[in-house]
Amino acid sequence: MECPQCHTQLPDVAHYCHRCGHDVRSATESRQQHFAVKPDEPVASFAIVSTLMPRGAGQRGRTYQIILGIALVVALLAACFGAVPLAVLVAAFAIPVVYIVYLYDVNVWDDHPIQVTVMAFLLTFVLALGFTLLWFAGIGTTGGAGGPSAGSGAVGGGFNTTGLLVAALLVPVVGELIRQVGPVFLASRERFDDLLDGASFGVISGVAFATADTLVRHWALLTGGFTREIDPGLWMSLIFLEGFVKPLVIGTATGIACAEFSGLGRGYDGFSPRYVRGVIEAIVANVLYFGGIHLFSNVGNATLSVVVSIVWGLLILGVLVIRMRRILHVALLEAALEAAQTEEAGAPVPQAEQEFCSQCEMPMIMGAAFCSACGASARARAKQHQTVGAGAPTAPAAPPPNPAPSDPEPAAPAPAVDESGTSTEGEQK
């Protein structure tokens, strides 16, 4: 059987081309119905985990969904019963902690945890903390750029032109530039120039920025202790907006830009027009998000203000998630075709060992870019831990030939043989 797209010879039982990922069985379905990272999902779907945590999504995706669900329930219950400081802490750190566990679980940091954690998370967190302190102190806590006041949750403080300009221009533009520093540095390193790595570093940088932003805006809630005057609808809505919607919006937007910096195939594309477009898309998404949240903060009812902000944020997040999935899907397919063309041109192809699909656990064809059974991209699997030094694992060296002994022991005398060819050793004994 031959692939109609790249003309590769395929096994008769293949469902997908192992070279370009084309679906060779379903004539009525396009590859858009099978996401390259997780083929049982369509490309245009609101699947957050497989989008933001693409490596190992087929094996561990359900685990991350459960952990995030537990964190959300804990934060909402804490807010409902007046434990607002606990709710804010859980909301601020739930997604960052889960994402750092993900980096460890699939070895995205390629056995360099300190470098990746510092550049992708801590650097952004420190810069965001200082930046948010500066602008937030300048416009006060009424209205702000995040809905209810950091202290009491009051809204309706009146339209503030300065606050709108800060929220809709300064925070999105400067914030996105801050979030690009660490991921761009990492993605320019040879070991981290894969598109999936660039996207992951962008997401963790955006989440770090959101954590710092939440801590500064709601510091009064953290230090105010438990409250007896409980408005469950307001507090739970606020925690969901600040702790879950906001970091996902910011992280996905930054991940899009950093994925475009990494680009296709081997090596990173760098400051290309696609990267510039990705940064602009991220800024526009943040302008719409923060600007909309600021405008909604002028609604007279506090709970209604936050609920409308949540709906607005989820709409933006939905567009960003589909956009991210489209980038990952197209990039993985195009990179596979690029590798196939390179192989046809006679370029050397590194030898690969027998591998199994991380999605369906079926054996993969040697050097395949996609699983021929389920269509999952081979690049979406977890990275292997290095076993020798900092580089790739090396095969054990062949033993040197046995040199002639410098001081050979005297050889034992051979047994005497008579003329008939029979040993006489037994007779001597």
Sole residue written with tokens 């293949």: 14
**What's the rounded Cα separation, in Å, for the pair 45 and 35?**
9
**Residue 338 to residue 135: CA distance in whole angstroms:** 46
User: φ and ψ at 16, to 5 degrees?
Assistant: -125, 150
Count of Cβ atoms closer than 10 Å to residue 208 Cβ: 32
Crossing angle of helices 273-296 and 171-187, in 10° steps, is 140
Radius of gyration of the chain (CA): 29
Cα 263–Cα 45–Cα 314 angle in degrees, nearest 5: 95
Contact 424, 416 (CB under 8 A): yes
- Token readout for 424 is 């006489």
Helix (H, G, I), strand (E, B) or coil at 242: helix
Start-to-end CA span in the chain (Å): 74
The token pair at 264 is: 């296709």
Q: Is 1 helix (H, G, I), strand (E, B) or coil?
A: coil
Q: Is residue 219 a contact partner of residue 150, using CB atoms and an 8 Å limit?
A: yes
Structure tokens, 197: 């790595």
C-beta neighbour count of 6 within 10 angstroms: 17
Among the listed residues 330, 204, 199, the one whose alpha carbon sits nearest the alpha carbon of residue 262: 199
Which tokens in the block code for residue 265? 């195939």
3-class DSSP assignment, residue 50: helix
CA nearest to 207, candidates 57, 309, 79, 101: 101
φ/ψ bin of 414: left (φ > 0), alpha (ψ from -120 to 50), beta (otherwise): beta
Instruction: Give the Cα separation of 150 and 136 in Å (integer).
Output: 10
CA separation for the pair 251, 44 (Å, rounded):
19
Query: Splitting the chain (429 residues) into consecutive groups of 10 residues, what average pLDDT does each group show?
Result: 73 68 64 79 89 79 86 91 90 92 85 88 95 80 41 46 84 95 91 86 95 92 74 88 94 94 78 93 95 86 91 96 91 70 51 61 68 70 58 45 48 47 44
Dihedral angle over CA of 246, 247, 252, 254, nearest 10: 100
**Integer angstrom CA distances of residue 215 from 82, 202, 220, 222, 332:** 18, 20, 9, 8, 37
Contacts of 128 (CB under 8 A, 6+ apart): 175, 178, 179, 208, 209, 211, 212, 213
Q: Considering only CA atoms, which of 301, 283, 298 is closest in space to residue 164?
A: 298
Domain residue ranges of the chain, discontinuous segments joined by +: 57-334
Amino acid letter for position 221: L
Question: Among the residues of 140-265, which ranges form H helices?
Answer: 161-165, 171-187, 195-217, 219-223, 232-240, 246-262
Closest by CA position to 194, among listed 178, 183, 182: 183
- The dihedral formed by the CA atoms of 130, 136, 141 and 147, expressed in degrees to the nearest 10: -100
Dist. CA 201–CA 120, nearest whole Å: 6
Question: What is the Cα–Cα distance from 236 to 84, expressed in whole angstroms?
Answer: 9
